Amino acid sequence: MNSNPIIGCRYRRAANRCRWVLFTTLLYSAAHSATSFAQAPLNIDALMAARSELTLQVGYSFLTANDDVLVPLSLTPQESAVRQPPVQAILEQDIESGQWVSALRYGASNDLELRSTIRQRESRTRSPYQPSSTRRSTALALGGSWQVSRDQQTPALLLALDVDIAARSPLQDSEIGYGKAVRFNALSYRSLDPVVLSAQVGIEYFSSWRCDKIEFQPGNSASAKTQVSFAVNPEVTLIGGLGVQRSEPSEISGNEVYESATRISLTMAAGVALSRRSSLFLGTDVAASGPSAASINLEWLYQFEL
């Protein structure tokens, strides 16, 4: 343990900055649990790009959240030299986050899709008595989906795996990291015209990042989501769903700074067929438990004919 009070104070301030970044990053990830599949489409088969077909998928999500956060206060060098109980304050924190996702999906065969995805996030945090901060992150992921079975005698089953091959974290002055996140998803659906029932489970695994010589280890997470899609007519589909996500504790330099949590969210969305090859989805996710949060999601898909 470091006995120098000045160095110790600097360490606490750096750790506090990382805690703010950590809270923003994890809350945003909780409200936008990663998925390797598109929205439940007007045509359920569009979950997989057809053989030799190229699909462009572009999406934007905007999140707003509010929560009370317990923040350790930094002591002066003179105060830190004297043994005192830890001083903490409860602050109200407002978060606004936006994310762009662009993906190219190619049907390598009737049962195999390959894809590349670029994600760009920007988060703004505001709190009383604290300077506002803006954090940005970018990631390039490669992955694919495999259709294990089709919707016939048994429900359809799709498996997906994506890896962030290169990413820059929202931590200040972070370097590019490789293989920092791995995502696995399994989706099953049953079509009962005009209704499609689907269930999805996913796992996210994260490697650690470093900030000012402090190691930040995000907690891994698991999620489950059920969804009902109702085809009003061939051009319009209404979607409703319920999701649950469980996150493991996160640590900074071996100290737990964000405890494990379970979050429940409700999804409402609608899909519109703009043309034979173009679809647009608009939806919202609202937190049913945990920090107050809501997001608006917009997604556009276009299928190229090669």
- The more confident residue out of 277 and 254 is 277
**Is the pLDDT confidence value at 99 over 60?**
yes
Q: Contact at 8 Å (CB) between 2 and 15?
A: no
**Is the pLDDT confidence value at 193 over 50?**
yes
Residue 93: CB atoms within 10 Å:
20
26-40, 87-101, 118-132, 269-283: range with highest mean pLDDT: 269-283
Q: Contact at 8 Å (CB) between 224 and 237?
A: no
Give the per-residue pLDDT at 3. Answer: 39
User: Cα 77 vs. chain centroid, distance in angstroms?
Assistant: 39
Q: How confident is the model at residue 43 (pLDDT cuts 50, 70, 90)?
A: low
Of 222, 225, 203, 303, the closest CA to residue 269 belongs to 225
**Is the pLDDT confidence value at 29 over 80?**
no
Q: How confident is the model at residue 12 (pLDDT cuts 50, 70, 90)?
A: very low
Give the per-residue pLDDT at 7. Answer: 31
Give the per-residue pLDDT at 91. Answer: 62
**Is the pLDDT confidence value at 177 over 90?**
no
Q: How confident is the model at residue 90 (pLDDT cuts 50, 70, 90)?
A: low
Q: Contact at 8 Å (CB) between 287 and 294?
A: yes
What confidence tens digit (pLDDT) does each residue in 227-245 have? 999 999 888 999 999 999 9
Q: Contact at 8 Å (CB) between 279 and 298?
A: no
**Is the pLDDT confidence value at 139 over 70?**
yes
Give the per-residue pLDDT at 164. Answer: 95
> In whole angstroms, what is the distance from residue 41 CA to residue 114 CA?
18
Average pLDDT over residues 2-9: 35
* Average per-residue pLDDT for the chain: 79
Q: Is the pTM of this model over 0.85?
A: no
- For residue 128, whether the previous peptide bond is cis, meaning omega lies within 30 degrees of 0, is no
Q: Write out the chain in H/E/C secondary structure.
A: CCCCHHHHHHHHHHHHHHHHHHHHHHHHHHHCCCCCCCCCCCCHHHHCCCCCCEEEEEEEEEEEEEEEEEEECCCCHHHHCCCCCCCEEEEEEEEEEEEEEEEEEEECCCCEEEEEEEEEEEEEEEECCEEEEEEEEEEEEEEEEEEEECCCCCCEEEEEEEEEEEEECCCCCCCCECCCEEEEEEEEEEEECCEEEEEEEEEEEECCEEECCEEEECCCEEEEEEEEEEEEECCEEEEEEEEEEEECCEEECCEEEECCEEEEEEEEEEEEECCCCEEEEEEEEEECCCCEEEEEEEEEEEEECC
**Is the pLDDT confidence value at 36 over 50?**
yes
Give the per-residue pLDDT at 243. Answer: 93
> In whole angstroms, what is the distance from residue 292 CA to residue 265 CA?
10
Give the per-residue pLDDT at 234. Answer: 85
| β-pair partners for 137 | 121
Residue 52: CB atoms within 10 Å:
12
